[in-house]
Every structure is written in structure tokens, then in C-alpha cells.
Structure 1
Amino acid sequence: MGKAELRRSIISARAGLPDQSGSASAIRETLLDRPWVQMAGLVACYWSMGTEPATHGLVFALWKHGATVLLPVLRPDLDLDWAVYDGPDSLAPGPRGHLEPVDTRRGVDAIRTAALVIVPALAVDRVTGVRLGRGGGSYDRALARVGPNVPTVALLHEGELVEGVPAEPHDRPVAMAALPSGIVTFAGPPGAGSPARPARRSW
């Protein structure tokens, strides 16, 4: 299945999902229970929209726990600038109607300083960690700036961990996926230093 077909399939399936507030809470609590999340002083995350796994509670909890949370601001060239979240009142509708932080823009390279990066995805390959985005390439460019030892996590609904996500040279895999049922760690793409092996689920 090609990227466009897989993208349409996932978007259609998400449109039929029932209320996912319980799933969002499960993802939030699973992440907040991890020491590498608790110790991350600077976290790059995103403000979810539509049928994405909700991050509003997660962003608020990270902020309340003392982390500095960077949220993306979409630039005209589809790259991502970043600004600091400072509570619910620090957001305002951007040019496309999506909520964005009103703080000073920190530049596209601000993500390089993050100790944890949480990104959206429509699906993730269960072996390689290659993520399927919405086609704009914004997060592939952002992930290219992240250091190799920084945890990168995609948030998914159940059933969105799949086999055979098509990979192109610019695609950047994530290290983990967080689902309501737990966190899955990936081996990485073949040729990245060791043979690909099945993902490992961490409860």
C-alpha cells in the first residue's frame, strides 16, 4: 500500500473512532510514569487537533511538573518554528486557525535543545519506526535536527502500528510509539547498525 492510500485509510478510520478521552489519559499517564520523561527539562511536543490522540492534558501536565514545553509554529515554507507554552492562556489561533503559543519564536533550531521530542503520526512501522505524517514533511525536517540520543516518541491510536510504511530518503524514524496499551520501542531501519527486529513493547 502506498503512502497516499495508507494515509487516506488511517484518516478515514480515525473519523469513525468513538470518544478517545480515556485513551488520551492512558497515553499521558504512561508517559508521565517514565523516568526519562520526568527528567526531561525541555520537551518539544505539539498541540493536538481533530482526531489526533489528544495532547492537551499531556502538555499541561508536563508544564505543571516544571518542564519547559516547546510547541510548533508552522512557517510559510512548512518548516516548524518553536515557541514556549506557558499555560492555557498562552495560546492563540494562528493564520490557519490552529492554536499556537504567543511566546517569542525561538527558531527552527530550538528543537536541537530538547531532551524529549513528542510528535504526531498517522501510523508508524512496527519494525523500523518510520512514521507516516500528513505529507507536508514538517516533522521530518524537525526530526532531522534532533540528536541521536534524544528520545523521539510518536503518539498513536490502537491499530496504527502497522507493517510496511513506505520509506523515502527524507523520512525520519522515531525511537518509540506511545499507545493507550503501552510504549513500543523500535529497532530502527535496516542498515542502521544492526538488523531490523520486531518492536519491543514496554508496559
Structure 2
Amino acid sequence: MNHFERTRDTGKRTLRRHLLTVRERLPGDVVRDAGRALAEQALELPELARARTVAAYVSVGSEPGTIALLDTLRARGVRVLLPALLPDNDLDWGAYDGEGSLARVRRGGRMTLFEPSGEPLGPDAVTGAEVVLLPGLAVDARGMRLGRGGGSYDRVLARLDRAGARPALVVLLYDTEVLERVPTEPHDRAVQAVVTPSGVRRFGGSAPQ
């Protein structure tokens, strides 16, 4: 790793720590209200309105809430896929059939996750989604997303590229997490849009197809 790469990596770690600290200080009612508002904004996306399969995730802790969004998509007849973390940090996928279909899982010393308890569909199942909703900590004016650093979604995006899949990539964040610029690496890939409790922002001149 050269000096530039080390500096960039340090910048990512510092920014992640700051953003996580801010999130952890959010009151519970703010997190709940943000989840409801986020669902209302996301459901206005044309990409979600016509999607038959959506890859999403279950929010944990002080992440912007996703359950209201998942339940509404499912009620619309959308097939919702949720990730299950594999030992190598890759992601398997399973179908969401309501909150009762989720298993509470603790992966080593990491945070407790909520994963689909049904039949594993395999890591390639994500390639059939028309929309992929991504977790993150921030996004910048170019649409570059800052994740938690585990690399799981880097693998997902690489798998989509290899398969020639071109789903809409949408990150779900708080309003304060849309920044002017975040540190990036060559493999990082821009998203088409960010949804926050106050609205939707598109990047790179992207428009719904």
C-alpha cells in the first residue's frame, strides 16, 4: 500500500467513526420517524414502482429504518430479497415473508443482524433484482457511497458486473449523510440515487428508465 492509499484508507476510517458516533447518539423516536419518512420517499421512486424483485436489507441499531419499506413492497406483490452474511463476508440471499420470517443472528463479535430464515437462494440471486437498496454511512455529490468497510457489498456489486446485471442502485441514508465528497478507491461504484427522509437525489444525470 503506497502513501496515497494509506492516507485514503485512514480518511475512510476516520469518517466512518464520526458518522457512526453521530448515528449512535440519535434518539429512538428520531430513528423511528426517519424510517417512516424514508419509506414514503422511497416508494415514490419509479424504479421501485415497477420492480418485481428488490434486493434490500433489514436495518439494525440506529440505521435508517427499512421494515416499513420492506412490508409495503411485499404488500404490493414485490419479491423482496434479504442478505445473509457468509463466513467469508460474502452475502447469500433469501426471501422476505414478513417480520416473522427473520432470524436474529449474531456473527462472532459483530452486531446482531436480522437475516431471512427460509431457504438460501445463493449469492447469485441478487443478479435477478431490478433494484438493489444499499446500506451505507454516506454518499457524496458524485454518487459515491461510503460503506462500513466490511466489503460485503463490494462483492455484490462485482457480482452484478460479472453477470451483466444493471439494477438501479439506491442508498438509504439520513439527510446529514449526503456529503460533498467521501474518500474512494478504484473499485468503488457510484449509485444512481440516495433516498433520505426529506427526499430523493439522483446522481450523474441518472433518470428512471
- TM-score class, shorter-chain normalisation, is 0.7 to 0.9
CA distance in 1 between partners of 2:79 and 2:22 (Å): 34
Indicate conservation of the 8 Å contact 1:117/1:151, yes or no.
Answer: yes
Does residue 133 in structure 1 map to residue 133 in structure 2?
no
Corresponding residue number in structure 2 for 1:113: 128
Does residue 49 in structure 1 map to residue 60 in structure 2?
yes
Matches within 5 A, 1:184-195: 184-187=201-204
Deviation readout 1:88-120 (Å, 9 max, x if unpaired): 111112242421111111111111100111010
Deviation readout 1:31-74 (Å, 9 max, x if unpaired): 11233212100000000001110001111111111000000000
Letter in 2 for 1:131: R
Corresponding residue number in structure 2 for 1:154: 171
Match of 1:104 among 119, 123, 126: 119
Q: TM-score, normalised by structure 1?
A: 0.87
Structure 1 unmatched ranges of 5 or more = 188-198
CA distance in 2 between partners of 1:39 and 1:102 (Å): 27
Q: Which has the higher helix share?
A: 2
Structure 2 unmatched ranges of 5 or more = 1-9
**Is the partner of 1:8 in helix, strand or coil?**
helix
**Is the partner of 1:169 in helix, strand or coil?**
coil
1:160 Cα offset (Å)? 0.3
Corresponding residue number in structure 1 for 2:188: 171
Letter in 2 for 1:92: A
| Segments ≥4 residues shifted beyond 6 Å | none
Percent identical: 46
**Aligned length in residues:** 190
**Is the partner of 2:188 in helix, strand or coil?**
coil
Q: TM-score, normalised by structure 2?
A: 0.85
